[in-house]
Structure 1
Amino acid sequence: MYDDGFLKRLEDGVRAALPLWDVSPDTELKLLTISENATFRATGTGRATDLVFRVHRPEYHTLAEIESELAWIGALRAEGVVATPEPVALRKGGLVAHIDDAGSTRHVVAFEHVTGEEPREGEDLARWFTELGAIHARLHAHSKRWKRPDGFVRKVWNHASTVGDRPLWGDWRAGLGLTPDGRAVLERTVGVLGDRLSVLGDGPESFGLVHADLRLANLLVDGDRLTLIDFDDCGFSWYLYDFAAAVSFLEHEPYIPALQDAWVEGYRTVAPLSAAEAGLLPSLVMLRRILLTAWVASHAETPTALSMGTAYTDGTVALAEAYLSAQA
């Protein structure tokens, strides 16, 4: 799927749509990332900033879900809650365009380009996780008070939709290279997670609209500024799930406890967070790790999944064994 021909087809589709934003089809386009979606940067647009175009993969988010994401971004920007790129309207109004991709309709959204680089892995991340904790707390406070517009709809990230019987990202049992012994370990872990996380419930004080994917790849550092990008997976989940998402693909690193402490410290500068709630963060990290193991398997053709391979599944089993020992 992700061969040169496919990427060229996507680029041609975006290029043909550029005039919808009053941008010349001769503008330079460069592929930035491709995973769930593809993003392209357009330079020399004649605007104050470059533009980033996000091409949604088909049959994942509905148009209503995409418009709901953009509505939340608009509200966050209007109230100055967080720094995040501004969605750019089409010449005739609206924020979502549509292109044809070999007979399949793809939704396209444009954002103003923001400068910055992904934070570097390592213990120095603690500095940014203190700030990230405060940012998450502000996001959650906004989520609790914001009156969502009619027709607002986003996916729900709970036990059933992550590691349970209605998984949105595939069945973790299909994990690449997962052995029968490994499957048994993860089965026990999924059961324990269900018990542990049940105490959070789904009431408005613990469960609501969250970003759900503020991992390093979706953070931009420019000097002292931290910008959030890619609300594509925002949805309804436990507020504490945002920490688990933040350490995606880092779960095995020895500095995770330091990042957790920093995040909790930052969160508490904005909103209360009890010791009991903080004690559930490792369970949410484990849940997210199993979810990502399913994602790698169900998206095996993506560059991200190819770089992970069976080693990620093996690491998940090892983390699960350690988790079960800690819960005993």
Structure 2
Amino acid sequence: MNYIINRRHLRKGASLFGVNESDLKLIGGFSNNVFAANSDKVSLIIKYYPSSMYKRDSIASELDWIIYLSESGMNVTFPIVSINNKLMEVVFNKDEACYVVGFEKAKGAFVNVSNHKEWNASLFYTWGKTLGNIHRLSKFYQPKDPNIIRKAWNKDTLFTDVIHNNELIKQKWENFICELNKLPKNINGYGMIHHDLHHKNFYLYQNELVLFDFGDSTYHWFVYDIAVVFYHAMQVVGDRRKKDFVSTFIRSFLRGYETENQLQSDWLLRIPFFLHYRQLYSYLYLSTYLTNEQQSDVKIQQYLNRLKSKIEKDIPVIDFRLPIP
């Protein structure tokens, strides 16, 4: 797997957090930019953000949001200061800048979706409770630095700069944007969300979730955050089991969610709309930001082709009624 982070950035960034380049192990990230760093003295996660792909202000706002959630009692991986006592460093290779941030290494492990002792109604309840807590806290969130402005839902380049080659998909995208712009933005339904809380963005530790990867957090509708969870959770089960799984998942998840935050039923009834939106968003996001090498992967090509076909044919993400109270 090719790194998008050049060796000079890797080496300089690692040294600023007390480790060597040889201590780094690539563990993921959409851009292959997240590394575990283990040495005799320290164990942490280091994320690299090339300035050609990430903005400094966006990273600063991500850190502020994480710190707020942590100080409010959420289980999140906390940022670690560098040897210079900075939360964010910048390293250079010639004129190319790269921002570097360190995080605590999360306790626990990914949920095993094949193990019913882990992937069950109890987990779904806890998952819902966790997201409900985020949305409750979102209502009181104010950045510590008044210069920090986290982007709104429609300020991403998908909404501003992307050129759509497929006219049918372009029209569907514009229709969704038009419908979203009609929705109210009051404090009870709209605020900072995680935006990507699928089961690969948290660890399970002592029956609690430890959250990470807040890079996509943005101001959006709370119900969309719920739909994102549902959308990705459904992908782990086959079509034959989907209806039964969704019924169990939604009932357990919403019971947990409502212990921390309440959404009016008219918001919850919009979940199918937001599931459909997430499908189109995912297709456009992957088509836009995956590298040519990633898109040439046969499995990824097949997945994108299936998504494209469903979108063009208006095949719903679910073809049954959700058990929403």
State the TM bucket, normalised to the shorter chain: 0.7 to 0.9
Q: What secondary structure is seen at the aligned counterpart in 1 of 2:45?
A: strand
Mean Cα deviation higher: 285-294 or 222-231: 222-231
Distance (Å, rounded) in 2 between the aligned partners of 1:257 and 1:215? 18
Quote the residue 2:315 is aligned against: 321
Distance (Å, rounded) in 2 between the aligned partners of 1:152 and 1:116? 32
Aligned-residue offset at 1:74: 1.1
Is the CA contact (8 Å cut-off) linking 2:189 and 2:263 kept in structure 1?
no
Distance 1:55 1:192, change over 3 A: closer
Is the CA contact (8 Å cut-off) linking 1:220 and 1:226 kept in structure 2?
yes
Aligned-residue offset at 1:51: 0.8
Distance (Å, rounded) in 1 between the aligned partners of 2:126 and 2:83? 37
Mean Cα deviation higher: 312-321 or 223-232: 312-321
User: Which of 14, 33, 48 is equivalent to 1:18?
Assistant: 14
TM-score (norm. length: structure 2):
0.81
Aligned-residue offset at 1:88: 0.5
Aligned-residue offset at 1:135: 1.2
- Name the count of aligned residue pairs: 306
Residue type at the aligned position of 2:190: F
Residue type at the aligned position of 2:62: E
User: Which of 65, 69, 73 is equivalent to 2:62?
Assistant: 69
Quote the residue 1:213 is aligned against: 196
Distance 1:240 1:53, change over 3 A: same
Q: What secondary structure is seen at the aligned counterpart in 2 of 1:221?
A: strand
Distance (Å, rounded) in 2 between the aligned partners of 1:42 and 1:192? 42
Quote the residue 1:238 is aligned against: 221
Quote the residue 2:45 is aligned against: 52
Aligned-residue offset at 1:93: 2.2
Quote the residue 2:254 is aligned against: 264
Residue type at the aligned position of 1:298: T
Aligned-residue offset at 1:102: 6.2
Aligned-residue offset at 1:143: 1.2
Distance (Å, rounded) in 1 between the aligned partners of 2:226 and 2:30? 21
Mean Cα deviation higher: 300-309 or 145-154: 300-309
Encode CA deviations 1:99-130: one digit per residue, 9 max, x unaligned: 22564211110001113222234683543222
Question: What pairs with 1:98-137 in structure 2 (closer than 5 Å)?
Answer: 98-101=90-93, 103-121=95-113, 124-137=119-132
TM-score (norm. length: structure 1):
0.80
Distance (Å, rounded) in 1 between the aligned partners of 2:9 and 2:40? 17
Distance (Å, rounded) in 2 between the aligned partners of 1:194 and 1:280? 15
Residue type at the aligned position of 1:28: D
User: Which of 23, 35, 42 is equivalent to 1:28?
Assistant: 23
Is the CA contact (8 Å cut-off) linking 1:119 and 1:125 kept in structure 2?
no
Distance (Å, rounded) in 1 between the aligned partners of 2:19 and 2:319? 59
Is the CA contact (8 Å cut-off) linking 2:135 and 2:222 kept in structure 1?
yes
Aligned-residue offset at 1:204: 2.5
Distance (Å, rounded) in 2 between the aligned partners of 1:231 and 1:130? 21
Q: What secondary structure is seen at the aligned counterpart in 1 of 2:34?
A: strand
Residue type at the aligned position of 2:85: G
Distance (Å, rounded) in 2 between the aligned partners of 1:311 and 1:75? 37
Aligned-residue offset at 1:60: 3.8
Is the CA contact (8 Å cut-off) linking 2:188 and 2:263 kept in structure 1?
no
Quote the residue 2:2 is aligned against: 3
In the alignment, does 2:150 pair up with 1:151? no
In the alignment, does 2:72 pair up with 1:88? no
Residue type at the aligned position of 1:279: L
Distance (Å, rounded) in 2 between the aligned partners of 1:62 and 1:274? 36
Q: What secondary structure is seen at the aligned counterpart in 1 of 2:160?
A: coil
Unaligned runs of 5+ in 1: none
User: Which of 280, 295, 308 is equivalent to 1:290?
Assistant: 280
Encode CA deviations 1:41-69: one digit per residue, 9 max, x unaligned: 1112513xx11000114334321221111
Aligned-residue offset at 1:157: 1.6
Residue type at the aligned position of 1:112: E
Aligned-residue offset at 1:222: 2.7
In the alignment, does 2:208 pair up with 1:225? yes
Distance (Å, rounded) in 1 between the aligned partners of 2:277 and 2:86? 37
Is the CA contact (8 Å cut-off) linking 1:117 and 1:221 kept in structure 2?
yes
Unaligned runs of 5+ in 2: none
Encode CA deviations 1:261-295: one digit per residue, 9 max, x unaligned: 32222111122223222111121121111111011
Q: Kindly indicate whether structure 1 or structure 2 has the higher relative contact order, using CA contacts under 8 Å at least 6 residues apart.
A: 1
